[in-house]
């Protein structure tokens, strides 16, 4: 259950509502399974546009690691120094026991798990050069004045319990209108962030940096631990479905009106996800708010962070290091995003084409928090009760093309949003993989073996239907 970048290959399946709830809580209505039980799921996504491994693939690297012949060190890392701004993004998840029930006009779900995000944005090109070549030794960039603005670094890890409720609030002819809400209780584990508002500086030489202005806030939790403190989030979603048969007498997965089955021709959804924040206990957070000018940092090349407090490097320049732009340094906003989805039933309720837009909403200026990655995706897929296959095509951050694949065989799903990085040699800027193990209960016990097609509906060639005796 859950998603790595977004698990586009399994995110929209009608047979996996424990996944689709993470893009739109109303999507769990009219699921093709009566009860979807998630046993365990896990995945990881990482991407950046600066550092890469040249001419490699992850299958080959995994094979070398298994044989004990893998030998990669820092000399194998290459740097792309052709951009003005750089970023890095990572998301990991482990989702444990969860379930979604869908019957008639109602659906509900409950899920548990752990999520982790790291996000770095706005890294200027000269910083990328310093990352590759060092500061003290890269004399080409000495005696140059630099200005850094709007650079954000954030990382957060937290446990989650999510409850979801969805309701079909209107049916008219072939139209169905559905809404859903999720409420999440979060349990903060660890976090850190830095908001760089304005740093104006000069690298004089290999031992002196002169700061004209330095306006920065930074925080972190030095000892990760599971907290039962504050942290709440909300998801809101709406879905419209254009049905192939009459909607007013259709009750999915229900014995009402004869266990009839109906499929949508297309559906349109909009949602606002992960609206909220996590909050660490104040005594677990180390914070520094800096706003000073005209400071010469001598022998910077020999400076080492304080092991007990890594953010107090310039503490002597501040009268009150506990005051800065951020008013609640122990609070981190969630990776909020807006999404719009379109799903088209292309053939016999077996082949679908999905298009999804995801727009991350950044944290406010005076807040620490991760920004969710932006994306556009188009995903053709085949799905049946026990087999599913999809090939998602996506634009990560609207500019980096990705091709993925996902395969569902019974209870097991395996997928990736970055297929080529696994099977073909290329420059590896990141990786993605996810897996789900589920127990799908397809039919309401009262409906098993009693399905009827709705008027004008074709579930596919060769499908036999058994009339419900109560509505013969």
What is the model's pLDDT at position 38? Answer: 96
Do the beta carbons of residue 188 and residue 232 sit within 8 Å? no
137 is a domain residue:
yes
Among 119-133, 191-205, 231-245, 256-270, the least confident range: 256-270
The answer on pLDDT for 460 being more than 60 is no
Q: How would residue 22 be classed by pLDDT, with cut points 50, 70 and 90? A: very high
1 is a domain residue:
no
What is the model's pLDDT at position 467? Answer: 42
Give percent of the chain above pLDDT 70.
Answer: 94
What is the model's pLDDT at position 428? Answer: 96
Average pLDDT of the segment spanning 166-194 = 97
Q: Any idea what DSSP says for residue 143?
A: S
Lookup: tokens for 66? 């298994």
The answer on pLDDT for 1 being more than 80 is no
Residue whose entry in the numeric block shows the structure tokens 């009219």: 30
What b/e readout covers 177-215, taking b as 16+ CB neighbours within 10 angstroms? bbbbebebebbbbbbbbbbbbebbbbbbeeeebebeebb
126 is a domain residue:
yes
Under DSSP, is residue 471 helix (H, G, I), strand (E, B) or coil?
helix
Which helix (DSSP H) or strand (DSSP E) does residue 400 occupy?
strand 400-403
In whole numbers, what is the pLDDT of the chain averaged over residues? 92
Phi, psi of 353 (to 5 degrees): -130, 125
Average pLDDT of the segment spanning 114-143 = 96
State if pTM tops 0.85. yes
Q: What is the 3-state secondary structure (H, E, C) of 299-348?
A: CHHHCCCECCECCCCCHHHCCCCCCCCCCCCCEEECCCEEEEEEEEEEEC
Under DSSP, is residue 8 helix (H, G, I), strand (E, B) or coil?
coil
**Is the four-CA dihedral 126, 127, 128, 131 of positive or negative sign?**
positive
Residue whose entry in the numeric block shows the structure tokens 């030998």: 71
Lookup: tokens for 93? 């998840």
116 is a domain residue:
yes
Domain range enclosing 23: 17-471
Average pLDDT of the segment spanning 82-97 = 95
**7-8-11-12 Cα dihedral, nearest 10 degrees:** -170
The 10 Å Cβ neighbour count of residue 26 is 32
What is the model's pLDDT at position 469? Answer: 41
What is the model's pLDDT at position 205? Answer: 95
What is the model's pLDDT at position 161? Answer: 96
12 is a domain residue:
no
Q: How would residue 456 be classed by pLDDT, with cut points 50, 70 and 90? A: very low
3 is a domain residue:
no
Q: Which residue has the higher pLDDT, 74 or 328?
A: 328
Residue 472: C-alpha distances to residues 89, 256, 315, 452 (Å): 57, 14, 81, 10
Q: How would residue 341 be classed by pLDDT, with cut points 50, 70 and 90? A: very high
The answer on pLDDT for 282 being more than 50 is yes
7 is a domain residue:
no
Among 94-103, 352-361, 450-459, the least confident range: 450-459
Lookup: tokens for 262? 């109906």
Lookup: tokens for 223? 């000892």
Residue whose entry in the numeric block shows the structure tokens 């409850």: 163
338 is a domain residue:
yes
Average pLDDT of the segment spanning 46-55 = 96
Average pLDDT of the segment spanning 114-121 = 97
Under DSSP, is residue 64 helix (H, G, I), strand (E, B) or coil?
helix
Q: How many whole angstroms separate alpha carbon 343 and alpha carbon 354?
A: 4
Give percent of the chain above pLDDT 90.
Answer: 86
Number of domains in the chain: 1
């Amino acid at each position: 259950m859950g998603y790595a970048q977004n698990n586009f290959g399994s995110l929209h399946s009608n047979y996996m509502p424990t996944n689709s709830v993470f893009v739109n809580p109303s999507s769990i209505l009219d699921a093709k399974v009566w009860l979807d039980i998630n046993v365990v799921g896990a995945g990881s996504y990482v991407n950046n546009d600066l550092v890469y491994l040249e001419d490699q693939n992850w299958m080959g690297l995994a094979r070398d690691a298994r044989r004990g012949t893998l030998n990669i060190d820092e000399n194998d890392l290459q740097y792309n120094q052709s951009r003005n701004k750089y970023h890095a993004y990572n998301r990991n998840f482990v989702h444990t026991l969860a379930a979604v029930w869908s019957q008639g006009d109602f659906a509900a779900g409950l899920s548990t798990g752990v999520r982790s995000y790291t996000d770095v944005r706005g890294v200027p090109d000269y910083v990328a050069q310093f990352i590759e070549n060092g500061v003290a030794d890269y004399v080409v960039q000495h005696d140059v004045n630099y200005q850094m603005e709007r650079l954000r670094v954030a990382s957060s890890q937290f446990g989650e319990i999510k409850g979801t409720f969805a309701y079909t609030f209107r049916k008219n002819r072939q139209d169905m209108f559905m809404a859903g809400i999720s409420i999440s209780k979060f349990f903060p584990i660890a976090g850190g962030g830095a908001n760089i508002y304005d740093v104006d500086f000069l690298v004089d030489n290999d031992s002196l940096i002169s700061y004209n202005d330095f306006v920065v806030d930074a925080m972190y939790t030095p000892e990760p631990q599971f907290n039962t403190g504050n942290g709440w989030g909300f998801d809101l979603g709406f879905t419209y479905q254009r049905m192939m048969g009459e909607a007013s007498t259709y009750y999915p997965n229900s014995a009402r009106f004869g266990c009839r089955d109906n499929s949508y021709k297309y559906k349109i959804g909009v949602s606002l996800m992960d609206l909220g924040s996590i909050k660490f206990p104040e005594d677990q957070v180390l914070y520094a708010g800096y706003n000073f000018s005209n400071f010469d940092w001598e022998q910077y090349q020999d400076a080492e962070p304080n092991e007990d407090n890594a953010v107090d490097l310039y503490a002597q320049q501040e009268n009150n290091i506990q005051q800065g732009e951020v008013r609640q340094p122990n609070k981190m906003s969630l990776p909020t995003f807006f999404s719009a989805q379109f799903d088209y039933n292309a053939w016999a309720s077996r082949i679908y084409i999905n298009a999804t837009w995801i727009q991350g909403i950044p944290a406010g200026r005076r807040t620490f928090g991760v920004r969710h990655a932006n994306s556009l995706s188009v995903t053709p897929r085949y799905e049946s009760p026990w087999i599913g296959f999809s090939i998602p095509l996506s634009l990560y951050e609207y500019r980096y093309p990705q091709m993925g694949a996902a395969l569902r065989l019974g209870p097991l799903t395996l997928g990736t949003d970055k297929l080529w990085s696994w099977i073909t040699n290329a420059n590896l800027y990141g990786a993605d993989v996810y897996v789900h193990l589920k127990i799908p209960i397809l039919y309401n016990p009262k409906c098993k073996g009693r399905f009827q097609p709705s008027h004008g509906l074709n579930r596919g060639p060769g499908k036999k239907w058994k009339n419900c005796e109560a509505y013969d």
